[in-house]
Structure 1
C-alpha cells in the first residue's frame, strides 16, 4: 500500500473515530504496533480467507507488526477473549455482542462480516419432534451467550414457552452436534458448518428456521484499541473488504477453504457459503440497529441482563455506523 494511501486511511480513521466521541492518536504519531491480535472462526468464512492468504501479514510486514490469529469456537469465546484483552478484534453474532456489551464488555462494532442464516433448531432424522411446541420438557443443547442460544429462546417464545420449559444443556457447538446425533439430547440449536454437516451427513432435520432471528456477523473491536489505533483498525477493515470481495467473486474456492479449515466436506461448505451467507452489506447501519432492537427484549425477558439496563443505549453504544464508511468497497 502506498504511503499516500496509508496516510489517507489514517486521517479518515482518526476523523471518524473522533466523530464517534473519541480522541485517538493519529497513525503518524503512534509507534508501530508490535502485535495485532484477532480471531478466526468457522462461522466467519471471511476470516478464514483473510488468514489463508496472509493479506494482513503482508499489510503490516513493513511496520514490523506480527499478526496473531486465535480460533474462536463460538461467539461466547470471541467475546470472552475481547473482554479479557486476549485479542483486539473478534467476530460474533450481533445479539451475542449486544448481550456482552450490556453486561459491561467494552466493545464497538464498526463492520459487518456477513448476513448469515447460520442457526436453526435441529433434531435427529428419526425424532418424533415436529414443532416448537413439541420441545416442552425436552433436553436441548445450545452454547450459552451465542446466537443459537438466543435463537432458541426467541423461538420458544413464539409458542409461549420460556427457558424454564425446557432442559438446557450447555455445550459448545461441535459438542452439541455430537450430543444430538448420539441421542444424549432431544434437540440442538445448531450453528454452521456443524449444522450443515449434521444435515447432509446424518440426516438431521431443521424443525424451525427463521432468518430474521439470525442476527448479523459483527466484527467487534475493543473500545480502547479502536480509540488508540484507528488507523490499524481501518487497515484490518480494508483487508476484510478484500476478502469479502474475493469470496463474492470466488464462492466455490471460498467453500474449499472453509472445507479444509473446518474439516467438513465440500458440499457442507458450499451449503454454508452459497445458500446461507450474504456478504453484500458490510456497512453497519439502521437495519442492524433495528434487528437488535427487535431482538433485545429477549435479553430482559430471560433475565440475561439487569432489569434496569437501557438496551437502546447499549445498541447505540455498540454499533458504530460511521467508522468504516471510507474503507468499504462499493459494489
Structure 2
C-alpha cells in the first residue's frame, strides 16, 4: 500500500510503500505522510482510536484477503484451523477477514494461535512450515499460490472491506485544493486501468517486481474497479458488520468510539466532484 504527498511549492510528490494498512495508519497518525491508502476496516479502527483521518475516495472493491495453507496440507476448511497456528497482520483486512471466517464456524481468535507477522513474513512462515495457515494479502497471496502451490481454503468477497484513500484532517483543512487534485488523479488512474488492464498489469508487475501472472491475478481477477468512488452506504454496510469485532477483540476502548468514528469517517465531496467531472 502506498502513501502519497502531493506537490508543494514546486517540489515533486514523495511516495512511500508500507507493508500494510496498519503501517500506513501509523504514519498518518505520526504526521509522516498526508495521504495513506488502506483497507476500510483499518481506517475505521484508526479513527476510532484517535487518528485524525478522513476517507476521501474509494478506489476499489478487492478480494485481496483469503485464508491459505501450504501445498500438501491436510487442512481443508476454517473448522480445521481450531487449535492451529495462523499467521496474520493484526489491524489489517486479512485479520478481520480471519475473524469473520472463524465466526462462520462458531469460533473466535481464542480458538487458534494468532502469529502476528507483517504480510510478507506471514507468507514466508507458511511456506517454511512455521505456521499451519496464513490469512494473506495480495500480491503476496497470489505469489504463494502461483509460485509455491499454497492452497486456498476460504475466501469471501463480502468479508473484505473496500480500498480507502485517507488523508489527515490537518492536511484536508489546510489544502482542500490539493486533496481534490489527488482524488482526481486516483479516479483518472482507475478509469485508465479499467480501459487498459493488460498495460496496468505490466506496470504493476514491473513496479512491484512480481511475475506477470501474479499481477494479472491480483489486478484483473481479484479487484473490482467499476464501483462508485464516493464513500457512503455500501462501505458503511460492511463496516457496521465488522464493527462489533473491534470491540470484542479489545481493539477499541468503547463501542461508542466506533460509532462516532464511522459517523465522521467520510469526506465524500472530493470523490463526488471527481466522479462528476
TM over 0.5: yes
Q: Alignment partner of 1:95: what SS?
A: helix
The answer to whether residue 258 in structure 2 is matched with residue 311 in structure 1 is: yes
Q: Alignment partner of 1:284: what SS?
A: coil
Following superposition, the deviation at residue 278 of structure 1 comes to 1.1
Q: For the Cα contact (< 8 Å) 2:244–2:255, is it kept in 1? A: no
Q: Alignment partner of 2:13: what SS?
A: strand
Following superposition, the deviation at residue 219 of structure 1 comes to 0.3
1:7 is matched with none
Q: How many residues align?
A: 276
1:226 is matched with 172
Once residues 194 and 310 of structure 1 are traced to their aligned partners in structure 2, the CA distance between those partners, rounded to angstroms, is 33
Among 132, 136, 140, which residue is 2:86 paired with? 140
Once residues 150 and 262 of structure 1 are traced to their aligned partners in structure 2, the CA distance between those partners, rounded to angstroms, is 25
2:183 is matched with 237
Among 76, 84, 93, which residue is 1:130 paired with? 76
Once residues 225 and 135 of structure 1 are traced to their aligned partners in structure 2, the CA distance between those partners, rounded to angstroms, is 43
The answer to whether residue 210 in structure 2 is matched with residue 248 in structure 1 is: no
User: What are the equivalent positions in structure 2 for 1:10-21 lying under 5 Å apart?
Assistant: none
Following superposition, the deviation at residue 329 of structure 1 comes to 5.2
After TM superposition, the structure 1 stretch with the greater mean CA deviation from structure 2, 97-106 or 301-310, is 301-310
Deviation string, structure 1 residues 152-199 (Cα, Å, up to 9, x no partner): 111111111111111111111011111101100000000001101111
Q: Alignment partner of 2:164: what SS?
A: strand
For normalisation by structure 2, the TM-score amounts to 0.95
Once residues 167 and 329 of structure 1 are traced to their aligned partners in structure 2, the CA distance between those partners, rounded to angstroms, is 48
Following superposition, the deviation at residue 308 of structure 1 comes to 4.3
1:28 is matched with none
Q: Alignment partner of 2:98: what SS?
A: helix
Once residues 150 and 224 of structure 1 are traced to their aligned partners in structure 2, the CA distance between those partners, rounded to angstroms, is 28
Following superposition, the deviation at residue 323 of structure 1 comes to 3.2
Which runs of 5 or more residues in structure 1 are unaligned?
1-38, 42-46
Among 239, 242, 245, which residue is 1:295 paired with? 242
1:12 is matched with none
Which runs of 5 or more residues in structure 2 are unaligned?
none
1:150 is matched with 96
1:205 is matched with 151
Once residues 94 and 304 of structure 1 are traced to their aligned partners in structure 2, the CA distance between those partners, rounded to angstroms, is 15
Following superposition, the deviation at residue 66 of structure 1 comes to 2.9
Q: Compared with structure 1, are the counterparts of its residues 199 and 329 closer, same or farther at alpha carbon in structure 2 (3 Å cutoff)?
A: farther
Q: For the Cα contact (< 8 Å) 1:40–1:91, is it kept in 2? A: yes
2:25 is matched with 79
Q: Alignment partner of 2:254: what SS?
A: coil
Once residues 251 and 208 of structure 2 are traced to their aligned partners in structure 1, the CA distance between those partners, rounded to angstroms, is 31
Q: For the pair shown, which has the larger CA radius of gyration, 1 or 2?
A: 1
Once residues 255 and 181 of structure 2 are traced to their aligned partners in structure 1, the CA distance between those partners, rounded to angstroms, is 38
For normalisation by structure 1, the TM-score amounts to 0.80
Following superposition, the deviation at residue 263 of structure 1 comes to 1.6
